[in-house]
Chain A
Amino acid sequence: MPEGRLPILELRGITKSFGGVEALRGVDFALLPGEIHGLVGENGAGKSTLMKIIAGVHTEFSGRFLIDGADRHFRSARDAHAAGIAMVHQELSVAPDLTVAENVFLGNQPTNALGLVQWRRMAREAGEQLSRFGIDVDPMSRLGDLPIGLQQLIEIARVLFSGARIVILDEPTSALSPPEVERLFATLRRLREQGTAIVFISHFIEDILRVSDTVTVFRNGRKVAETASSATSKGALIEAMIGRGGEVLEHSYTDDLMLPRPSDRPVVLKVDQLSLARSLKDVSFEAHAGEVLGIYGFMGCGQQELSRILFGKVKPDAGTLVVEGAPKTFASTAAARRAGVALVPESRRAMLFHQEPVYKNISISILDRISSLLLKPGQEREIAKRQVEQLQIRPPVVGLDLGMLSGGNQQKVALAKWLTYPPKLLVLCEPTRGMDVGAKNDVINIVRDLRAKGLAIIVLSTEPETVLSLADRILVLKRGALVREFKNEPVSKDRLLEAA
């Protein structure tokens, strides 16, 4: 760790509560110029809350806030921005209806003397910035039409190249595939050389250890440890995070793992020659009851489109779906749900109601099972309570608005929606994204439980670890086509990466 430099940012005794719930309790935090500062902690530990205070999103808190040694009080995110602080939020906060270029320049578009936006210049400069970052897209395409990982990359690029002195990245890698993560890290190191201070939050502890100089651990709203990355280990960090031995909780999957013999239980889903524009080509496979089928591939390989077709959100150009022997063409997601298919998409925003309480979020997909005409709020809360308990959602208050939960806990709610009346086929996209090690483990156990109950489960992920930790059989999707099947054979992270 560099010595003798003055902190660019210093927080002392920060306390923040949300209507009685203390999210931060007396936290001290200092950031040096030219350092990458890793931040780890369980879901709901308070990481995002602290960062939102720094970025001027939360303006009400107690404690001291110093920049370059002087007390400051931001009134808005704009103030923070003016002070040279930029943040990539955990929840994607792009403008999907604007173009890529507009998103890159959000808030400071180049204008001419008349104050008119210089479109051509904006497109050119956006294209240059993005390609420096290894992103190759048409700057004039609508952002919302791009895959979510690419959207996230574009948002990161915007913040990294905004010229800020303090850059905060709240779980930036959750939707990125390994090559992009590498590019991101290379860029972060370059910025560090230029003296930028960077905060990096992630649940991937290896990443934190690899890229950061200092690591701070949060638990329950308090800072419980701060060490140089070189002086700690994954096990030690996990132990500090959750207070028990971490080694058991996370494999690194570098060694071979033996996949079981394929299931001979009935086929629940048969996909035949599925094609979709430029996204999918002749995809055929079967999913069996009591089996977890993993589908691995890099970002943009067609996973997202495949999952949408299975749930009736997108109609394929060609090919058929057969669910339990009956051919299906889903006219709507409602039809897919009735046929026993459920989907948890990779983006929480896409399936959750932030301004509604947790229990309404959980009950929405099963309302027609528990009430015909009139609602039964009591029963809804009862069901939600059971799920909140089972998935250990924190805080365990079903009447709380969903937006008040931490990112990882929201993800659990997204899963909870489908568990009361388990479907026949459960499609999970990035099911552990944004979850801490303990929660990931919980999800693994839940998925195993559901498998034991005879569900067919499909897990789609761009993280090899996720697929390896859950799947009995693995398909590799590459540029829209299935290129490899792993079954009843040894498999490892390297073998998967090689196939993709």
Chain B
Amino acid sequence: MASSETAAATDQRARGLASFLRSQMRNIAPFLTLIFLSAFFALASPSFATIDNLGNILTQVSVTGIIAVGLTFVILCAEIDLSIASIANVTGIAVAYFTLQETYVNIANIPLPGAVAILLSILLCAALGLVNALGLTVIGIPSFIMTLAMMQIAAGISALLVRGQIAYKVPSLISTLGSGSIGGIPWIVIVAAIMLLGGHLVLTYTRFGRYVYMVGGNREAAEYSGLNVKLILGAVMIISAVCSGIGGMLGVAHFGSAQQNEFDTYLLDSIAAVVVGGTSLFGGRGGIGNTIVGLFVLGVLNNGLDHVNIDSFLKILIRGLILLAALVINVYAQRLREKATE
């Protein structure tokens, strides 16, 4: 409450901007975090802010990025997919399983032509996604529980396929995309960029993308608008599984081996990338743009901590704290936004 007329008028104008900024909080905060972290590491270590290191960061976040594309769809619908890392793992193992390995690799595998191996692997992850989708929509199991079970199922399939062994060979296409480069740019970065761009285009410019946002924004309203909510939810679960599968195949090529539990850290990293970027856990807000910022925040953080002298055990704690801060901002931004359109 301002006492004088003029003060009231200026107040009013300032508030217009303030309320705009507040409603944009979820987009601004991650960006500021990114700038702050980059500046901090650049000052703290001369080896951080170099072109070479930028390339490192990009390569390091590529697999997470590919997986996070699908997860963004899921979280926009106010669902969650905890099976992404396991599905990535099993798909990566499957593509190696269908490839002829060296004789010293002790796996009873089924060698097939490369294209067939890739196709079968994609079908596998799509099928696992379909199971998630059916559990969620037809039976009505909450996605948190359904994908928790799937996490175990996919890990089980991986275990049966490799039986504690390690496979190395993957089809040549996969190994080029996973570990090759063109004109100095790693293929895996290009694939991640293309998939992120594709995800963004689908979410922003297609009817399906609009439906994803609307279902996430208010599921009941989507149903009363005559949308087939179950179909849309099912589709995002399959998209998520397929993105994970692609990430898994390229990841295996990138790491140079396929084995059990190889992708475990990617579950948390992918969720963190999406949420740190500002996509709302309550659905309907955010997008691939946010995920990209989130990926960079995570990438800069992981990479930067390697450049400064920090106890590697402390690193884990710091990552956890940053994630917590991001979650707080995420929830807080949602509340501010709701208040703005009360």
Q: Is the CB–CB distance between A352 and B218 below 8 Å?
A: yes
A368→B207 CA distance, assembly (Å): 8
Per the CB 8 Å criterion, the residue count for chain B at the interface is 37
Which B residues lie within 8 Å of A285 (CB)? Answer: none
Interface string of B216-240 (1 = CB under 8 A from A): 0110111111111111000000000
Say how far A140's CB is from chain B's closest CB, in angstroms: 23
A336, A345, A374: which contacts B226 (Cβ < 8 A)? A336
Q: Is the CB–CB distance between B16 and A20 below 8 Å?
A: yes
Say how far A340's CB is from chain B's closest CB, in angstroms: 11
A351→B218 CA distance, assembly (Å): 8
A61→B285 CA distance, assembly (Å): 28
Q: Is the CB–CB distance between B12 and A337 below 8 Å?
A: no
Q: Is the CB–CB distance between A373 and B206 below 8 Å?
A: yes
Which A residues lie within 8 Å of B230 (CB)? Answer: 332
Q: Is the CB–CB distance between B226 and A62 below 8 Å?
A: no
Query: Within B200-255, which residues are at the interface with A (CB < 8 Å)?
Result: 205-207, 209-211, 213-214, 217-218, 220-231
Say how far A173's CB is from chain B's closest CB, in angstroms: 22
Which B residues lie within 8 Å of A367 (CB)? Answer: 207, 210-211
A375→B211 CA distance, assembly (Å): 11
A20→B15 CA distance, assembly (Å): 10
With A60-B15, A62-B2, A334-B228 in contact, is A374–B207 under 8 Å at CB?
yes
Most buried by B among A58, A334, A375: A334
Nearest A residue to B12 by beta-carbon distance? A17
With A62-B2, A65-B1 in contact, is A313–B214 under 8 Å at CB?
no
Most buried by A among B8, B213, B217, B342: B342
A62, A353, A355, A372: which contacts B8 (Cβ < 8 A)? A62
A393→B271 CA distance, assembly (Å): 41
Q: Is the CB–CB distance between A62 and B11 below 8 Å?
A: yes
Which A residues lie within 8 Å of B223 (CB)? Answer: 313, 332-333
A401→B230 CA distance, assembly (Å): 26
Which A residues lie within 8 Å of B211 (CB)? Answer: 367
Say how far B295's CB is from chain A's closest CB, in angstroms: 25
A47 an interface residue at 8 Å Cβ cutoff?
no
Q: Is the CB–CB distance between B342 and A63 below 8 Å?
A: no
A60→B214 CA distance, assembly (Å): 30
Interface string of A53-80 (1 = CB under 8 A from B): 0000110111111000000010000000
Q: Is the CB–CB distance between B225 and A351 below 8 Å?
A: yes
Which A residues lie within 8 Å of B106 (CB)? Answer: none
A364→B224 CA distance, assembly (Å): 10
Per the CB 8 Å criterion, the residue count for chain A at the interface is 48
Query: Within B11-28, which residues are at the interface with A (CB < 8 Å)?
Result: 11-12, 15-16, 19-20
A338→B231 CA distance, assembly (Å): 15
With A57-B342, A332-B230, A403-B341 in contact, is A356–B225 under 8 Å at CB?
no
B65 an interface residue at 8 Å Cβ cutoff?
no
Nearest A residue to B11 by beta-carbon distance? A62
A382→B156 CA distance, assembly (Å): 53
Q: Is the CB–CB distance between A355 and B2 below 8 Å?
A: no
Interface string of A341-374 (1 = CB under 8 A from B): 0110100011111111000100011011001111
Say how far B130's CB is from chain A's closest CB, in angstroms: 19
Q: Is the CB–CB distance between B210 and A360 below 8 Å?
A: yes
Q: Is the CB–CB distance between A355 and B337 below 8 Å?
A: yes
With A57-B342, A360-B210 in contact, is A365–B226 under 8 Å at CB?
yes
Nearest B residue to A52 by beta-carbon distance? B342
Q: Is the CB–CB distance between A337 and B226 below 8 Å?
A: yes
Which A residues lie within 8 Å of B217 (CB)? Answer: 353, 355-356
Which A residues lie within 8 Å of B213 (CB)? Answer: 356
B92 an interface residue at 8 Å Cβ cutoff?
no
B284 an interface residue at 8 Å Cβ cutoff?
yes
B1, B218, B338: which contacts A61 (Cβ < 8 A)? B1
Query: Within A374-420, which residues are at the interface with B (CB < 8 Å)?
Result: 374-375, 401-404, 417
A365→B230 CA distance, assembly (Å): 16
Q: Is the CB–CB distance between A64 and B1 below 8 Å?
A: yes
Nearest B residue to A72 by beta-carbon distance? B1
Say how far B207's CB is from chain A's closest CB, in angstroms: 5
A20, A52, A350: which contacts B221 (Cβ < 8 A)? A350
Which A residues lie within 8 Å of B1 (CB)? Answer: 61-65, 73
A345→B218 CA distance, assembly (Å): 15
A115 an interface residue at 8 Å Cβ cutoff?
no
Say how far A402's CB is from chain B's closest CB, in angstroms: 8
Q: Is the CB–CB distance between A375 and B206 below 8 Å?
A: yes
Which A residues lie within 8 Å of B206 (CB)? Answer: 373-375
Which A residues lie within 8 Å of B342 (CB)? Answer: 52, 57-58, 403
Say how far B27's CB is from chain A's closest CB, in angstroms: 14
Say how far B340's CB is from chain A's closest CB, in angstroms: 8
Q: Is the CB–CB distance between B207 and A371 below 8 Å?
A: yes
A15→B214 CA distance, assembly (Å): 34
Most buried by A among B1, B231, B285: B1
Q: Is the CB–CB distance between B12 and A345 below 8 Å?
A: no
Nearest A residue to B218 by beta-carbon distance? A353
A62, A333, A403: which contacts B12 (Cβ < 8 A)? A62
Q: Is the CB–CB distance between B224 and A345 below 8 Å?
A: yes
Q: Is the CB–CB distance between B8 and A19 below 8 Å?
A: no
B16, B210, B218, B225: which contacts A375 (Cβ < 8 A)? B210
Which B residues lie within 8 Å of A313 (CB)? Answer: 223-224
Q: Is the CB–CB distance between A364 and B207 below 8 Å?
A: no
Say how far A373's CB is from chain B's closest CB, in angstroms: 6
Query: Within B180-217, which residues are at the interface with A (CB < 8 Å)?
Result: 205-207, 209-211, 213-214, 217
Which B residues lie within 8 Å of A338 (CB)? Answer: 226
A333→B207 CA distance, assembly (Å): 18
Which B residues lie within 8 Å of A350 (CB)? Answer: 220-221, 224
Say how far B234's CB is from chain A's closest CB, in angstroms: 12
Say how far A386's CB is from chain B's closest CB, in angstroms: 19
A373→B338 CA distance, assembly (Å): 31
A284→B233 CA distance, assembly (Å): 35
A353→B211 CA distance, assembly (Å): 12
Say how far B206's CB is from chain A's closest CB, in angstroms: 6
Say how far B280's CB is from chain A's closest CB, in angstroms: 10
Which A residues lie within 8 Å of B227 (CB)? Answer: 333-334, 364
Say how far B13's CB is from chain A's closest CB, in angstroms: 9
Say how far A281's CB is from chain B's closest CB, in angstroms: 25
Q: Is the CB–CB distance between A351 and B221 below 8 Å?
A: yes
Q: Is the CB–CB distance between A372 and B207 below 8 Å?
A: yes
Which B residues lie within 8 Å of A337 (CB)? Answer: 226
A407→B230 CA distance, assembly (Å): 30
Say how far B296's CB is from chain A's closest CB, in angstroms: 26
Nearest A residue to B15 by beta-carbon distance? A60
Say how far B247's CB is from chain A's closest CB, in angstroms: 26
Which A residues lie within 8 Å of B214 (CB)? Answer: 353, 356, 360, 364
A292→B107 CA distance, assembly (Å): 72
Interface string of B269-308 (1 = CB under 8 A from A): 0000000000000001100000000000000000000000
Q: Is the CB–CB distance between A373 and B207 below 8 Å?
A: yes
Say how far B336's CB is from chain A's closest CB, in angstroms: 12
Beyond the given A61-B1, A62-B2, A404-B341, could you list 18 further A-B residue pairs with CB under 8 A, ordered by the A residue number? A57-B342, A62-B12, A73-B1, A311-B226, A313-B224, A332-B228, A333-B225, A334-B228, A343-B224, A351-B221, A353-B214, A353-B217, A353-B221, A354-B341, A368-B207, A372-B207, A402-B341, A417-B225
Sample (16) of A-B pairs whose CB atoms are under 8 Å apart:
A52-B342, A60-B15, A332-B229, A333-B226, A333-B228, A334-B228, A351-B220, A352-B221, A354-B218, A354-B341, A355-B284, A356-B213, A360-B210, A364-B222, A364-B225, A372-B207
* 6 nearest A-B residue pairs (beta carbon): A337-B226, A403-B341, A334-B228, A351-B224, A62-B8, A365-B225
